Structure 1
Amino acid sequence: MSANDQPSPGPAPSGGDAGSTPSWQWPESVWRGHTSAVTAGRPLLPSRWPQGARAAVALSFDSDHETIPLRDGETSPGRLAQGEYGARVGAGRVLRLLERYGAPATFFMPAVSALLHPDEARRYVGEGHEIGVHGWIHERNTLLAADDERTLIARAIETLTEITGSRPTGIRTPSWDFSDSTLQTILDLGFDYDSSLMADDEPYEVVAAGEPTGLVEIPVEWIRDDAPYFTMDRFNSVRPYTRPRDVLEIWKDEFDAAYRDGGVFQLTMHPHVIGHRSRLVILRELLDHIAAHGDVWFATHAQLAGIARDQLDRPTSPETSR
């Protein structure tokens, strides 16, 4: 997801005349078809975490930078500078903070961001972090034809691989959106995991029309994303509405609950959002709070997906289904 980015509407309903028919008039086959197209399947929480940890912490950063205005055809130096802050200032601050805590993280980066800032992309990988696909130019994939969506994601994989020398194994779709063709595209392009959906607190297997896919989902949530709290756009109603320390309290509560459950605390941030001084303070205090527990496993999303994938080999039982 990204700052200054609003969730785009989903694709028009397909099947019969559902596209021109009010949803309350849809036949049952239509609304059931939509709700079963992409769903959460088997939970993939392990019985124990590596290093004897009680809980896992998966930090992620969407390095969107200038791609949000560029995607929308906005070329104002002011709007571009707002994104440039993430590359010029925010990313470096974030990396130094992660080094202080020895915490690996995942950076989902649009290919255009990587082309604009190749040294930054290489630095992520060079310092032991993961780089993942986040679209070509943070495009709105629900507005694309299936072939165009596939082409852009494939180009993004190729670009990130060429720049960093590391082929991404995970994807976070721009704006966390799924079109009718997104899941099949992700499967066809060989990704190990996705991190765009919200059906659980813990990793799970993605199911397509009732069929398990083998794709691991590391779920996200708006309450664990910095952009909804801190986004500012002076030409519309998007305004920061939460004090940074209130966000810290929310995130601490999220972590504490995950720790009690022996589960996963996943967080999504943006260098050009969290990287500002007063906001980086709360990330530092959050990491202090997490690190004080001792028995916590900091993992990249790829490492977490690997542990989750191991659960696919377990025999199913009533305890492993919901």
Structure 2
Amino acid sequence: MSETQDAPWNWPEETWRAKVEHVRAGRSLKPTTWKNGARCAVALSFDADHETNELRDGGKSIGRMSQGQYGNRQGVPRILNVLAKHDAKATFFVPAVSALLYEDEQQRVVAEGHEIGIHGWIHELNSQLPYEIERDLMFRSADTLERITGVRPVGLRTPSWDFSADTLRIERELGLLYDSSLMADDDPYEIVEKGTPTGIVELPVEWIRDDAVYFNMHRFNGLRPQMPPTAVYDIFHREFERAYAEGGLFLLTMHPHVIGYRSRIWILEMLLEEISKRSDVWVATHAEIAAYAKQACA
């Protein structure tokens, strides 16, 4: 009886409204024009999860951990080479455990002018954690990335985009500039907490603009979404073209152990070739875009 009484359709208005209003999209932070008069901003991001996808689930599969290691051995070097060829800056969101496994990788990323953002400790799911543990892991992650790279991270992408009821509170305590885990818009916006603007910029993600949903497989879970690279490129390219037409933000999420394969790195290469044809497109790190949007819309 109690379960039926507690069912969502029996909630009073103040209950469901409080859930909706806890974290909301506030005012748009889409500038009239982007830096140096650019029509469109491009934010390329790479979630360098490596072995943490398996470790966070208990670390039982040696095979899946070897797939994560591929992201370090082949994926990241290929990505960095493509970015360097096109003089494009990007953001790498790195779990602290990945950073500790491959400190030289993080140092190379930063040395080549890219940004490193927080991506949890071991790719944990925030919504499964109490506030105290989530906070401890996020602060330890920020400290670890700063120690390894010499740069204090200013942005967070929650692992698996799993944003808990406490995540925004922790971001505010960390003093972060931006988040990139939510999906209320295509363009930047200010995050509002319980009706109060927070000053934190959201750079929205979407599964449509994520390589993993098109390519990832898991043999024991029956997951087999093997799409041809040409089809995925077509989706990403259409997203970019509409962002350009609207004068907005094109944000793309990729993973070194997914996009880094020989047949798939072509997607990134082709996108950057198309983007490079436009003289009025600004390709920048998430931190640069967030800072510009916040200042331009102040």
Q: Work out whether the TM-score is over 0.5.
A: yes
Match of 1:109 in 2: 94
Match of 2:38 in 1: 53
Counterpart of 1:185 (choices 151, 154, 170) is 170
1:254 touches 1:265 (CA, 8 Å); kept in 2?
Answer: yes
Moved more, 157-166 or 283-292: 283-292
Find out whether 1:302 has 2:287 as its counterpart. Answer: yes
Counterpart of 1:88 (choices 60, 73, 76) is 73
Query: What are the within-5 Å matches in structure 2 for residues 100-179 of structure 1?
Result: 100-179=85-164
**Structure 1 residue ranges (4+ consecutive) displaced by more than 2 angstroms after TM superposition:** 17-20
2:30 touches 2:297 (CA, 8 Å); kept in 1?
Answer: no
Match of 1:206 in 2: 191
Q: Distance in 2 between matches of 1:266 and 1:304?
A: 10
Q: For each residue in 1:91-149, what CA deviation from the matched residue of structure 2 results, as whole angstroms up to 9, or x when unmatched?
A: 00000000000000000000000000000011110000000000000001111010000
Q: Distance in 2 between matches of 1:193 and 1:174?
A: 15
Match of 1:11 in 2: none
Counterpart of 1:249 (choices 208, 214, 234) is 234
Per the TM alignment, residue 20 of structure 1 is displaced from its structure 2 partner at its CA by: 7.3
How many residues in Structure 1 have an aligned counterpart in Structure 2? 297
Structure 1 unpaired stretches of 5+: 1-16, 314-322
Query: What are the within-5 Å matches in structure 2 for residues 7-22 of structure 1?
Result: 21-22=6-7
Counterpart of 2:206 (choices 216, 221, 235) is 221
2:89 touches 2:284 (CA, 8 Å); kept in 1?
Answer: yes
Counterpart of 2:216 (choices 231, 234, 239) is 231
Normalising by structure 1, we get a TM-score of 0.90
2:31 touches 2:297 (CA, 8 Å); kept in 1?
Answer: no
Residue identity opposite 1:304 in structure 2: I
Structure 2 unpaired stretches of 5+: none
Normalising by structure 2, we get a TM-score of 0.97
Q: Distance in 1 between matches of 2:185 and 2:214?
A: 21
RMSD of aligned alpha carbons: 1.3
Q: 1:278 is paired with a residue of what secondary structure?
A: coil
